[in-house]
Amino acid sequence: MSDPEYDIVIVGAGVAGPIIAKELSKAGAKILIIEGGPETAPTNREEYMSNFFLNTVKTPESPYPPGLGADPAIEATPRATIAQTFTQNIPVDWKDHLGTGGYIYDPNISYLLQEGPQPFLSSYERVTGGTTWHWLGTSLRFLEHDFKMKSTYGADNPDYPLPDWPIAVDDLLEAYGRAEHEIGVAADVTVQIADLSDIGLKFSPGYTYPMQEIPPSVVDNTIANAVNNTSDFVLFEGQNVVVTSTPAGRNSQPNGSRRTCAGNTNCIPICPIQAKWDGTVTLSGAQATGNVTLKSQCVVTKVISAGYGQPVTGVEYVHWENKNSGVSKSETMTATAKIYVIAAHAIETPKLMLMSDMGNGKTVANSSDQMGRNLMDHPLYLSWSLMPEQIFGFRGPLTTSGIESLRDGPFRSDRAAWRCEIGNEGWNFAIGDPWTSVNDFIDGSNASDTNAGGAKLFGTALIDKLSSHFTRQWRMGFLVEQTPEANSRVTINRDNGIVDGLGLPRPVINYELSEYTRLGFASAEVFSRQVYQMLGAKNFTKNEPTVKVGDIEIDNPVWFENPDKAVFDALPDALKIPDLCANGQAVPDGFTYFGAGHLVGTFRMGADPRTSVVDSYSRSWDHTNLFLVGDGVFPTITTANPTLTLAALAMRTSDAIKEQLGITA
């Protein structure tokens, strides 16, 4: 075999790919990045912003190619979208066919083939820069106990669902700092330490963030004034409650060539001015070294190796182009390097790896049979309410603070923890405002549940109603820690005949929230009632067990039964007042969940090759020159948004690759 063309081939230009490319290219390594989606020149922002403005559905994916209505069987790089999980895409008899070849969402519309029993609701992008085009910017570190859940909370419980990581928080502190400086995280370390050091938030001595804190919103300050420094919340007895400014990869001052955040309230789907870091920023820095070649619109179809214990010897890929109404693809090409890095996130990476047959009935990097398993997200409980006074949401970045102080606690022995994100976008996420309420108050309809009288307003009365309504809206989003489950997983099925536009199999998803996870929803509802009580706010949250497809009422796949009615029965009467309760129910029938866009697990790291896919450096146990990077390696998802930690792990991997290549720069 001839000498490899490159030192490193990286598959995927999202978060981890560009970070590793930049770290290694600065040290002189020659790198090829293969990206499935189109290249996104900085000037593409014009096109994407135009798509955003003109799309009636402004979901996270709405600005980006392929368009929301694109047929996943035709496109070269289809991906999961929120729009694919809209109610109208659910077959009315969906429940009857699960387990017998049926899917929750129509496979003619949904890229993911969802076998259930519950739907996976998160989405991603396949463009250069990846999903960071529409990420929020939240850059939280994991807590000390997050890395050691089993030994901290489940040592005596053989069924405890959360494993330890093979590393501890101290192993990652330096890498966290590097990642925060690469991304450009705005936060005040003294505030973070003051609020959260007692639940295990840690920094290297003398550490400072690269940018000052982003100011909290009027909404944040109002909530903080009501709840801060109380410690008698039911279910969290003795634990301090405090609203903390959220560290964010968002400019609080000019940063390089990028502008200061102007509060466009649009981090998702797209920052108009790139005040928010995305993968293209780091990629551009990597390309500036002259050591990086980017091949976009190239989809890797196979990772080649002769067997476990053997190195990876190449990756096969095809280049595609949109031609007329279809896709044309090149002959299969092969790229070779000393080191291979697969950075295609928790769905596309296992899909690729499971496609990588070694000719002996085995697939690359899967001696553990863990590839694709333990798919996780932050199932999100959304709770929305109206304040008694104006708090002026719909202003500033989408979120600027959260209640982080309950992310750890002794309750984690029994039920899932969460972080509570405070929204600055009124009921935009919750019910699609301002569209929904404007329609209600003009038409006399009541989709918002705030126009029961059917008022049809115009003129001054309309302005007064909308002003009063919109300036009092707010919401909390609870990111619940989901347990890893062997049967929540990504697989491929070459026999179902369902492929993408390149003829590749599409990801098959099995997914289910565990009892431990569901209990986190109950505690979130109990917590939100107490917050609303302190604020004098009225809860408008709806958890609907059924939805209508046309005129037919069907079971809502994102609804599940309340796992702990007893805890609600036991609440004091003051917390059972209908105005404080979701659906007005003192004892909820059940809850619904949203996706958080966090694709985690599926090639977990561990200390034991028999139960994990990669080691603590994200190196495959089976092939020493293969690294599988990204948040797919997380053994647990914890309660924090994953991007910062996956960026820190990419720094750690970069160091390991440098060592392996003998680069000391």
Partner 1 sequence: MSISDQDAFNALSALLTGFNIGLIAPRVDPIGLPPLFLTTATDYSDGECANLLATFVALKAIDPALTDDDLGGIIMGLSPDPTTGVLIAANQTLVAQAIMKMWYLGSWYQPFEITGFKAGAQTVVSDQAYIKGLAWQSMQSHAMGNSTLTFGYWDKPPVASLQDFTGNSDVADGASPNPTEWGATT
Partner 2 sequence: MRLQKLALYFGVLVAGVYAVYHFQFDGKETAKKSDPDTPLTSSAPQSTAVAMSTTVSCQGADHVITNGTSIPHLPDFSMINQATVDTLQCSFDTYSWNLFLALNHDAQGELVTDNSGPTVWESWAESSDIFLKDGAKPVSTPRSFPTRNVPDECKGLHDGKIKIVRQVGKRPDVLEEFTEPFQSGPLIDANGHYSRFAISVNESMYDYILKNELYNSNGQKAFSQAGNEVNFACSCNEGTDDNGNPICAKGGQQGAVMAKAAWKVIDTTKNDDPSLYHTVEALVYTEQSKDGSRPAMCEKQMVGLTGFHIGQKTSNDTQWLWSTFEHVDNVPTKGEVASKPKYNYFTPDCTDCNTVNEPPAQPWNPKDPPLSDARIGDRSQIERVIAIHQDTDQMNAQVQSELLTGTVWANYELVSTQWPTAATAPNAAPSEATNWCSAINQVDKSGNPAPAFLANTTLETYIQGTVPQASSSCINCHLNATMTDGQFSDFTYLLERAQGPQEGPSQ
Question: In whole angstroms, how close is the CB of 179 to partner 2 at the nearest point?
Answer: 10
Interacting positions 260-319 with partner 2 (CB under 8 A): 260, 262, 264, 272-275, 281, 284-285, 287-290, 292
Question: In whole angstroms, how close is the CB of 283 to partner 1 at the nearest point?
Answer: 24
CB nearer to partner 2: give 52 or 317. 52
- Determine if 473 is a binding residue for partner 2 (CB under 8 A): no
Helices (H) and strands (E) in the chain, counts: 15, 22
- At residue 394's C-alpha, the angle toward residues 85 and 192, to 5°, is 90
Answer with the entry of partner 1, partner 2, none that 289 interacts with (C-beta below 5 to 8 A by kind).
partner 2
Per-residue binding string, partner 1, 457-476, x by CB under 8 A, is -xxxxxxx-xxx-xxx----
Per-residue binding string, partner 2, 144-183, x by CB under 8 A, is ------------------------------x--xx--x--
Q: Are 84 and 109 in contact (CB under 8 A)?
A: yes
Answer with the entry of partner 2, partner 1, none that 45 interacts with (C-beta below 5 to 8 A by kind).
partner 2
Span interacting with partner 1, options 9-17, 50-58, 69-77, 299-307, rule CB under 8 A: 50-58
CB nearer to partner 2: give 46 or 464. 46
CB nearer to partner 1: give 42 or 410. 42
Q: Which of 224, 283, 537, 582 binds partner 1 (CB under 8 A)?
A: 537
Give the DSSP H/E element, type plus range, for residue 652: helix 643-661
Alpha helical stretches, state H, 80-154:
94-97, 149-153
Please report the sign of the dihedral spanned by the C-alpha atoms of residue 147, residue 20, residue 278, residue 26: positive
CB nearer to partner 2: give 434 or 545. 434
Q: Are 347 and 121 in contact (CB under 8 A)?
A: no
Per-residue binding string, partner 1, 201-230, x by CB under 8 A, is --------------xxxx--x---------
- Determine if 258 is a binding residue for partner 1 (CB under 8 A): no
CB nearer to partner 2: give 212 or 231. 212
- Determine if 262 is a binding residue for partner 1 (CB under 8 A): yes
- Determine if 67 is a binding residue for partner 2 (CB under 8 A): no
Alpha helical stretches, state H, 133-205:
149-153, 169-183, 189-196
Question: In whole angstroms, how close is the CB of 62 to partner 2 at the nearest point?
Answer: 14
CB nearer to partner 2: give 292 or 304. 292
Answer with the entry of partner 2, partner 1, none that 204 interacts with (C-beta below 5 to 8 A by kind).
partner 2
- Tokens at residue 33, please? 């990045």
Tokens 């996870």 belong to which residue? 517
Question: In whole angstroms, how close is the CB of 275 to partner 2 at the nearest point?
Answer: 8
Write the DSSP symbol of residue 625: T
Give all strands (DSSP E) within 252-404, no chain letters: 292-295, 298-305, 312-323, 326-329, 333-335, 337-342, 380-386, 399-403
Write the DSSP symbol of residue 505: B
Question: In whole angstroms, how close is the CB of 211 to partner 1 at the nearest point?
Answer: 12
Question: In whole angstroms, how close is the CB of 186 to partner 1 at the nearest point?
Answer: 11
Write the DSSP symbol of residue 253: S
What is the C-alpha separation between 588 and 498, in angstroms, rounded?
39
Question: In whole angstroms, how close is the CB of 488 to partner 2 at the nearest point?
Answer: 37
Answer with the entry of partner 2, partner 1, none that 392 interacts with (C-beta below 5 to 8 A by kind).
partner 1
Question: In whole angstroms, how close is the CB of 439 to partner 1 at the nearest point?
Answer: 7
Interacting positions 493-532 with partner 1 (CB under 8 A): 532
- Cα torsion for 327, 333, 338, 341, to the nearest 10°? 20
What is the C-alpha separation between 486 and 117, in angstroms, rounded?
14
Question: In whole angstroms, how close is the CB of 115 to partner 2 at the nearest point?
Answer: 40
What is the C-alpha separation between 311 and 338, in angstroms, rounded?
9
Contacts for 130 with CB less than 8 Å, ≥ 6 apart? 12, 13, 14, 15, 17, 124, 279, 345
Q: Which of 2, 56, 257, 325 binds partner 2 (CB under 8 A)?
A: 257
Q: Which of 99, 101, 309, 388 binds partner 1 (CB under 8 A)?
A: 388
Total interface residues for partner 2 by CB under 8 A = 44
Cα-to-chain-centroid distance, residue 640 = 10
Q: How many CA atoms lie within 13 A of 232 on its CB side?
A: 1
- Determine if 260 is a binding residue for partner 1 (CB under 8 A): yes
What is the C-alpha separation between 647 and 658, in angstroms, rounded?
17
Q: Which of 310, 533, 585, 624 binds partner 1 (CB under 8 A)?
A: 533
Per-residue binding string, partner 1, 284-313, x by CB under 8 A, is ------------------------------
Q: Are 114 and 120 in contact (CB under 8 A)?
A: yes
First to last CA, the chain: 29
Answer with the entry of partner 1, partner 2, none that 56 interacts with (C-beta below 5 to 8 A by kind).
partner 1
- Determine if 443 is a binding residue for partner 1 (CB under 8 A): yes
Q: Are 504 and 485 in contact (CB under 8 A)?
A: no
**Helix (H, G, I), strand (E, B), or coil: what is residue 272?**
coil
Q: Which of 46, 96, 449, 569 binds partner 2 (CB under 8 A)?
A: 46
Q: Are 554 and 547 in contact (CB under 8 A)?
A: yes
CB nearer to partner 1: give 2 or 56. 56
Give the DSSP H/E element, type plus range, for residue 516: helix 515-535
Write the DSSP symbol of residue 116: E
Edge-to-edge order in the sheet of strand 113-117: 113-117, 508-511, 489-491
CB nearer to partner 1: give 459 or 662. 459
Per DSSP bridges, beta strands 312-323 and 333-335 are antiparallel
CB nearer to partner 1: give 301 or 428. 428
What is the C-alpha separation between 378 and 642, in angstroms, rounded?
10
Summarize as ranges the residues that interact with partner 2 (CB under 8 A): 26, 41-43, 45-50, 53, 174, 177-178, 181, 204, 206-208, 210, 212, 251-254, 256-260, 262, 264, 272-275, 281, 284-285, 287-290, 292
Summarize as ranges the residues that interact with partner 1 (CB under 8 A): 49-50, 52-56, 58, 215-218, 221, 252, 260-266, 270, 272, 385-390, 392-397, 400, 424-426, 428, 434-435, 438-439, 442-443, 456, 458-464, 466-468, 470-472, 532-533, 536-539, 577, 579-580
